[in-house]
Amino acid sequence: MEPATQANAKATTPKLRTKQNQGYWRRFGTFYIMMAPALIVLLMNNYLPMIGSAIAFKQIVYSSNSFIQSFLDSEWVGWENFNYLFSTTDSATITRNTLMYNAVFIILNLVIGVTLALLFNAMRSRRLAKFHQTTMFLPYFLSMVVVSYLVYSFLNPEIGIINKFVLPWFGGEPVDWYAESKWWPFILPIINTWKGIGYYAVIFLAAIIGIDNEYYEAATIDGASKWRQIWSITIPLIRPVIIILTFLQIGRIFYSDFGLFFQVTRNSGILYDTTLVIDTYVYNSFIVSGDIGMSSAAGLYQAVVGFVLVLASNLVIRRISKDDALF
Amino acid sequence: MATVTVKRKRGVNEVSSFSNFMINGFFWIYTALCILPLLLVIAVSFSDERQVLVNGYKLWPEKFSNGAYDFLLSDWESIVRSYGVSIFVTVVGTIIALATMALYAYPISRPDFKHRKTFSFIMFFTLLFNSGLVPYYLMYTQGFHLRDTIWILMIPYFVQPFFVLILRTFFTNSVPTALLESAKIDGAGEWRIFGQIVLPLSLPVLATVGLFCTLNYWNDWFQSLLFINQENLITIQFRMYQALLDITFLSANSTAYSAILAQNPDFQLPTETVTMAMAVVGIGPIIFAYPFFQRFFIKGLTVGAVKG
């Protein structure tokens, strides 16, 4: 509302603005000013493009210079873009790859992350624990471009560490890593865990450190073993954090780390059958091939299925334990 | 040593010496795995190209050489400019992002704010549903006409719902409500409470989120890939990406390579060492900034429930 119209509204309808309402604005008006910048960014970055999702149901024809005008003039074609997308074999491949990789990533992050956090907590020397935390977090700080360089130094077919030193040492034959797709389902989870695990371990550790020591003291007096304490005290008490993090990842199970699949595999076409995921597919078909209809259909498919999965997993959590559900 | 050692009393949660030893051993191996790749890159960047081609990558340069850096320095203007763009985007972007997110997280952390849940929902819904690349791209290019501007490198990272969640959790748990109440009674306005009470108490979380924003900006190449074509707006990460692409392109396309050779018969592309030198240039500052932020992590990274 512009100030002028607001003043008008005030003047014409004085009865509508109850006392309570005035108190509300006097009390919380500042909050709205505080939240305005973020709301503007959310509108630009998230909510306006959501309206643009309708593009998936259109056949874009460039009728005028302004794209928005062209968008409005373009014909509605219903599910045509989707039919076209699902008639290709690509759609099955990218769905399978996206889900499989993410499932593996989620399990690895959870299991290894919690394990490392427990080990950190068990270390006697606080200073050593701090040091190892610092080094473990290091890969998290590298951009995917840098990681792709590092991976290349290992996998370079002629002079990479693996082909030059590691494989000969075991008596194996050199492998042309960037031309054989069958190895990537093992390579990518290793890289993803190596890069991200420090982050998960620290979040879990923060939760473990927050646990009151009295629980453990009581358990020790009762004669509970170390394993028993981990199983019956630590894990249950960090369960909310585990659930939130896993849940956030399940909500993103249809989304991939674009950098990992684009940079590290060097977007190499030979590897697509095991490395193409929905994100890289949308990028390739939109930016590289310029196929707006197909790529926006793939994008919307990704968003809607992802959303349904979030709701479903929340429902499951509600069934298991209502307190841990997100909404 | 004939001193009397006082036997340390074992704490409740102390593991046995043997397991402690095993855990330590494990972590030393893990630490090596995290650090060695970086050392490898640094070592290769200082090696002699020919040695590398013959003997492969080594953790210690067999023949020390500045060749790769000399080659990069011949193009120093573009590298310095890219650094400039990256530093500007990182500093300005982080400050704006942190202010924007903290100002949003504070109202939704206040239990007495009636529409807390609505505004939490507006924020966190974007975590669950987004428009995908195509409308996003078209909105910024055709709607806002921000292609090839410095702003497109910053705006998309101003608000990250997950960081807002972390900030809100901290405000909720670590700022005593009684303190806010008494400040209110003393007649402090919301801005004053936020600036003089909430923010000073929240340094750990501000440092943590600030560091993550810094990382977002410094390491980002995706926005550049989508929106930047202008030479003078290329960030250091995007330049690295292009360098790797060019070199791959040159080594894969022998025709392009022979065209260069035809022009300059002595031309030797120091590909391996130069790519690694480029990586060192790109890693640079972030590694030094990192230990300073480290100590705030544990305090700042407590993730609370999404529910208001």
Query: What are the sequence ranges of the domains in chain B?
Result: 76-232+286-303
pLDDT 10s digits, B223-265: 999 999 998 999 999 988 888 777 766 665 556 556 666 666 6
CB-CB under 8 Å, B34 with A135:
yes
Indicate the angle between helix axes A184-209 and A126-137, nearest 10 degrees: 140
Which residue in B has a C-alpha nearest to residue A65's C-alpha? B142
Decide if A207 contacts A241 (C-beta within 8 A): yes
d(CA A59, CA A73): 10
Distance from CA of A3 to the nearest CA of B (A): 22
Q: A125-134, A274-283, B94-103, B164-173: which has the minimum mean pLDDT?
A: A125-134
Decide if A44 contacts A257 (C-beta within 8 A): no
pLDDT 10s digits, A78-101: 888 899 889 988 999 999 999 999
Q: Looking at this protein, which amino acid is placed at residue A43?
A: L
CB-CB under 8 Å, A206 with B301:
yes
Decide if A187 contacts B83 (C-beta within 8 A): no
- What are the backbone dihedrals phi and psi of residue B5, each rounded to the nearest 5 degrees, phi first? -95, 130
Decide if B295 contacts B161 (C-beta within 8 A): no
**Cβ-based neighbour number of residue B53 at 10 Å:** 15
Question: Mean pLDDT for chain A?
Answer: 86
Q: Please say if the pLDDT value at position B127 is more than 80.
A: yes
Mutation site, B9, B116, B130, B299, interface A, largest A CB count within 10 A: B130
Q: Please say if the pLDDT value at position B188 is more than 70.
A: yes
Predicted confidence at residue B101, as pLDDT, reads 97
The CATH code that applies to domain B76-232+286-303 is 1.10.3720.10
**B297 contacts in chain A (CB < 8 Å):** 133, 137, 202, 206
pLDDT 10s digits, A136-167: 888 988 899 989 989 988 998 888 889 888 88
Strand partners, A58: A76
Q: Please say if the pLDDT value at position B305 is more than 70.
A: no
**A132 contacts in chain B (CB < 8 Å):** 27-28, 30-31
Question: DSSP 3-state assignment of B177?
Answer: helix
pLDDT 10s digits, A34-49: 999 999 999 999 999 9
pLDDT 10s digits, B199-222: 999 988 898 899 889 889 999 999
Mutation site, A27, A32, A43, A45, interface B, largest B CB count within 10 A: A45
Q: Which tops the pLDDT comparison, B6 or A27? A: A27
Q: How confident is the model at residue B272 (pLDDT cuts 50, 70, 90)?
A: confident
CB-CB under 8 Å, A296 with B134:
yes
Task: Dig out the tokens for B161 from the structure.
Answer: 């719902």
Q: Please say if the pLDDT value at position B107 is more than 90.
A: yes
Which residue in A has a C-alpha nearest to residue B238's C-alpha? A145
Instruction: Return the percentage of chain A with pLDDT > 70, whole number.
Output: 92
Predicted confidence at residue A244, as pLDDT, reads 79
| Highest-scoring range by mean pLDDT, A275-284, B269-278, B285-294 | A275-284
Q: Please say if the pLDDT value at position A17 is more than 60.
A: no
Mutation site, A71, A124, A165, A304, interface B, largest B CB count within 10 A: A124
Question: Mean pLDDT for chain B?
Answer: 83
Q: Which tops the pLDDT comparison, A256 or A8? A: A256
Q: Is the dihedral of CA B179, B185, B186, B191 positive or negative?
A: positive
Predicted confidence at residue B57, as pLDDT, reads 81
Nearest to A279 by CA among A129, A151, A94: A94
What is the Cα A232 distance to its own chain's centre? 30
CB-CB under 8 Å, A48 with B31:
no
Predicted confidence at residue A6, as pLDDT, reads 46
d(CA B39, CA B283): 12
Q: What is the DSSP string of A180-231?
A: -GGGHHHHHHHHHHHHHHHHHHHHHHHHHHTS-HHHHHHHHHTT--HHHHII
Q: Please say if the pLDDT value at position B306 is more than 50.
A: no
Distance from CA of B47 to the nearest CA of A (A): 14
**B38 contacts in chain A (CB < 8 Å):** 138, 150
Q: What is the pLDDT averaged over residues B49-72? A: 81
Distance from CA of B226 to the nearest CA of A (A): 8
Q: What is the pLDDT averaged over residues B144-148? A: 93
C-alpha Rg value of chain A to the nearest Å: 26
Cα angle at A318 between A313 and A324, to 5 degrees? Answer: 95
Q: How confident is the model at residue B71 (pLDDT cuts 50, 70, 90)?
A: confident
Nearest to A54 by CA among A67, A72, A41: A72
